[in-house]
Amino acid sequence: MTAPRVFALHKPRGVVCSAVGEGGATPVYELLPPDVRGWFAVGRLDKESEGLLLFSDDAAFAQRLMDPGGVAKTYEVVVEGLPDEDALAPMRAGGGAMEGRVLRPVEVTRLGKAPRGGTRLRVVLHEGVNREIRRLFRAAGHKVRRLKRVAVGPVGLGELKEGEGREISARERELLEAALAARGAGAAARQTGISPSGRERSGGGSHRGARPRDSKL
């Protein structure tokens, strides 16, 4: 069986994640090599967001990477103002509702101050809801100025410049598959009440994941 191939692209701001341009914007597929343009996108980024986008020649593998709880996606975010711990607490706790789904906890780490009275943060998502990060910070009273995806699971943006891309290495693909396997084992353990180590969890019960959905962030 042939291993899935994966291509990593640094999407610039102003580029749309579609095969056809919208309002004169450049479609992301125009930035891909001709032999990659028929591959399947692993999630999306909205027009004003930038950073790492993955594409795979295997539709099933791309869907596994997009499934809730599949692999973590890491972002560097700049917001207006200085959000305090009370503003970040609901994101970290999860449990809120968005588009009929119960949100998973979001990992939020302060990186420092940004120019013009802003704040830099690292945000890690374990699911994908349309414009989730922007909507969470807007609800907390802090508009997102800049949003850049820097990693999908173990695959990082690295030194790719805007508009540049590369096919990931066999080792990176193995790490992606290992991350998916680890997530799958964890989900199965939550459903059965048995931990990945084989020990029974106290109070363990079934857990139903949300329906897979593509997202823009």
Contact 183, 71 (CB under 8 A): yes
Active-site entry in 35, 46, 67, 214? 46
The domain total for the chain is 2
In a domain, 110, yes or no: yes
Q: What is the pTM of this model?
A: 0.83
pLDDT > 90: what percent of the chain?
A: 68
What is the C-alpha to C-alpha distance for residues 75 and 97, in angstroms, rounded to an integer? 21
Last residue of a domain, one of 152, 182, 201: 152
**Residues 92 and 139 occupy one common structural domain:** yes
| Per-residue model confidence (pLDDT) at position 129 | 84
107 forms bridges with which residues in the sheet? 124
What is the C-alpha to C-alpha distance for residues 49 and 68, in angstroms, rounded to an integer? 21
For 111-132, what is the mean pLDDT?
Answer: 92
pLDDT digits (tens, 9 = 90+) for 184-212: 555 544 445 554 545 555 444 433 333 33
**Residues 51 and 101 occupy one common structural domain:** no
| Per-residue model confidence (pLDDT) at position 68 | 77
Average pLDDT, the chain: 86
pLDDT digits (tens, 9 = 90+) for 142-166: 999 999 999 999 999 999 999 999 9
Range of the domain at 54: 6-68+157-169
For 159-188, what is the mean pLDDT?
Answer: 87
Whether pLDDT at 85 is above 90: yes
For 14-37, what is the mean pLDDT?
Answer: 90
Q: Is 58 a catalytic residue?
A: no
Whether pLDDT at 91 is above 50: yes
